A and B are shown apart, each in its own frame.
Chain A
Amino acid sequence: MTEGHIVLDGVHKSFGAKHVLNGVSLAVPKGHSLVVIGGSGTGKSVMLKCILGILRPDSGSIRVAGDEVVGLRGKARDAYLARFGMLFQGAALFDSLSVWENVAFGLIQGRHMARPKARDIAIEKLRQVGLGPEVGALFPAELSGGMQKRVGLARAIAADPEIIFFDEPTTGLDPIMADVINNLIVDCVKRLGATTISITHDMASARKIADDVAMIHKGQIIWQGPANTIDSSGNAFVDQFIHGRADGPIVMDVLKP
């Protein structure tokens, strides 16, 4: 059996007494798009940060293309991170740099590409997300939320990464712009043939971009399956989540009025 491109095995992470990840195990085959769904505070973002090495798991194994990546340092870590692209929830554009410099950042700083060449690539990536070359000269603060997300997407794909993470790509956008972003994600991923993990609680977005869906609850993956089987999962947690019901096995910490 071939191992997945990204494999998590029993990953634990605690902050003090708070156990955020309680043994997450997960496998994403090469070129697949996995969407991780789950409520706020269930450990979705922490999981991505563990894979990226921004946070170090307390125990467990994370393998990418067969290589153990927990605890990488120095040059090996830089080389590892160069294979990633990530679209952040708030786009996380560098506000001191112009739009094209943002998109070209990984090329110029990470790969030492000459500025004029990196600029051409940045303009081309902006075109791929539906933004004209004139946008390149603007600063992030001058853009709307939807445009910032698209610039963030252009930056994530600029270095043609083999793995892309999307952290709540549609949160805070109107439904039409959300669908535009979803289409762009599907297009870009198809063009690059990248393996992707997205985290979201927007089911419309999940249905559109997922090959597989995994649900995380209390720091564990409680269900994983192909996207088209999500409506017949037979899992009460998944059913409650995808239909957005307040009553069910998932109990929110909300005091009843």
Chain B
Amino acid sequence: MNILAHIGRASLSLLEEVGRVTLFLKDALVQGLTPKIFLRQILIQMMRIGYFSLPVVGLTAFFTGGALALQIYLGSSRFNAESLVASIVALGITRELGPVLAGLMVAGRVGASIAAELGTMRVTEQIDALVTLATNPFKYLVGPRIIAAVVTLPLLVGIADTIGIMGGYIVGTRSLGFNGYAYIRNTADFLEIDDVTSGLIKAAVFGFIIAVMGCYHGFNSRGGAQGVGRATTNAVVSSAILILAANFALTSLLFAD
């Protein structure tokens, strides 16, 4: 009996949360992404979400590309298929690791900071103050963050793809003895435009997830410093899980044929 009650309570609170996120999403889309548009806020957020994430995302991509080249070399040399290294690194980075790792890193960096900033604004009544100054918080705070994340994440991933492939190239030519020209040749010949664009589409979706979850948890934080801390954690955890789930869904969708 007790177990059933536990399961019931957990399912109810999960459904309740899904309902709340859905209602928030509706407000975010209907109010936040319709005029008026705060261009200045969008540009500020693009700097914060996109530009300042470059070092983190770039380093992640570089080391991942290098490690990937090493792993694939070890695996493929067992059946004399070393020539596949360049193309598999390129495919792995552009289709999968570039968007997912960049998404997760940005979720940690930006999702947390959005939740902490909006959460603090909530508990110090700054969001209420916006309302009394005839400014819709969804338009001023949520909309610009969503737009900035959806626009900059694909740009970040484009750069991450390049750096990741470069990481593979450096490891391949410096320590695995590949010819530089042949490596680039292999990469360019095998890589198709769809491989890159599918990764960029994923990135835009991940950006949307990060911004919405950060704003949602920030907006709904309660009760001072502890509440803001909890909002930050929840924003990062929920966007990370949603990114991984969405990645699976998008992969099956985009590569269905």
With A88-B125, A89-B125 given, is the CB distance from A106 to B134 under 8 Å?
Answer: yes
B 97-113 binary contact with A (CB < 8 Å = 1; else 0) = 00000000000000000
Shortest beta-carbon distance from A45 to chain B in Å: 10
Verify A90–B124 contact, CB threshold 8 A. yes
Number of chain B residues whose Cβ lies closer than 8 Å to a Cβ of chain A: 14
B38 neighbours in A (Cβ, 8 Å): 109
- Are B126 and A54 touching (Cβ within 8 A)? no
A53–B130 alpha-carbon span in the complex (Å) = 13
Decide yes or no whether B192 CB sits under 8 A from chain A.
Answer: no
Interface hit among A76-84, A190-198, A205-213, A217-225: A76-84
**Does B131 make an interface contact (CB < 8 A)?**
yes
B128, closest chain A residue (CB): A54
Structural contact, B135 and A109, CB atoms closer than 8 A = yes
The interface bits of chain A over 86-115 (1 if a CB of B lies within 8 angstroms of the residue's CB, else 0) are 101110111100000000011001110000
B256 CB–A CB distance under 8 Å = no
Q: A78-B136, A109-B140 are contacts. A92–B131 as well, Cβ < 8 Å?
A: no
Q: Are A54 and B124 in contact (CB under 8 A)?
A: no
Residue count of chain A within 8 Å CB distance of chain B: 26
Partner of B126, one of A52, A53, A94: A94
Residue A85 interfacial (CB < 8 Å) = yes
Cβ-based interface call for B4 (8 A): no
A22 to chain B, nearest CB (A): 23
Tell me how far the C-beta of A148 lies from the nearest C-beta in chain B, rounded to whole angstroms: 11
Query: Contact at B128–A88, with CB atoms within 8 Å?
Result: yes
A49 touches B129 (CB 8 A): no
Contact A106 B126, beta carbon cutoff 8 Å = no
Q: Which of A141-163 contact B (CB under 8 A)?
A: 155-156, 159
* Whole-angstrom CA separation of A111 from B134 in the bound complex: 9
Give the contacts of B201-224 with A (CB-CB under 8 A). none
Q: Is the CB of A81 within 8 A of B131?
A: yes
Q: How far is the CA of A159 from the CA of B135 in the complex (A)?
A: 13
A92 contacts which chain B residues (CB < 8 A)? 124-126, 128-129
Over the window 58-82 of chain A, the binary record of Cβ atoms lying under 8 Å from chain B Cβ atoms (1 yes, 0 no) is 0000000000000000000010011
State whether A110 touches B128 (Cβ < 8 A). Answer: no
The B126-164 residues at the A interface (CB cut-off 8 A) are 126, 128-129, 131-136, 140
Q: How far apart are the CA atoms of A78 and B133 in the complex, in Å?
A: 9
Interface string of B229-246 (1 = CB under 8 A from A): 000000000000000000
Q: Which of A53, A86, A111, A159 contacts B129 (CB 8 A)?
A: A86
Q: In the complex, A78 Cα to B124 Cα: how many Å?
A: 22
**Is A52 within 8 A of B125, CB to CB?**
no
State whether B134 touches A81 (Cβ < 8 A): yes
**Measured CA separation A106–B133 after assembly (Å):** 5
Which of B121, B126, B134, B140 sits near A78, CB closer than 8 Å? Answer: B134
For residue B140, which residues in chain A have a CB less than 8 angstroms away from its CB? 109
Ranked nearest first, the 8 interchain pairs of A and B with the lowest CB-CB distance are A110-B134, A106-B133, A92-B129, A92-B125, A86-B132, A81-B134, A82-B134, A109-B135
Which residues of B come within 8 Å of A, CB atoms?
38, 121, 124-126, 128-129, 131-136, 140
Q: A78-B134, A95-B126, A109-B140 known; 18 other A-B pairs, CB under 8 Å? A: A52-B128, A52-B131, A53-B131, A54-B128, A54-B131, A78-B136, A81-B131, A81-B132, A81-B134, A86-B129, A88-B129, A89-B125, A92-B125, A92-B126, A94-B121, A105-B133, A109-B133, A109-B135
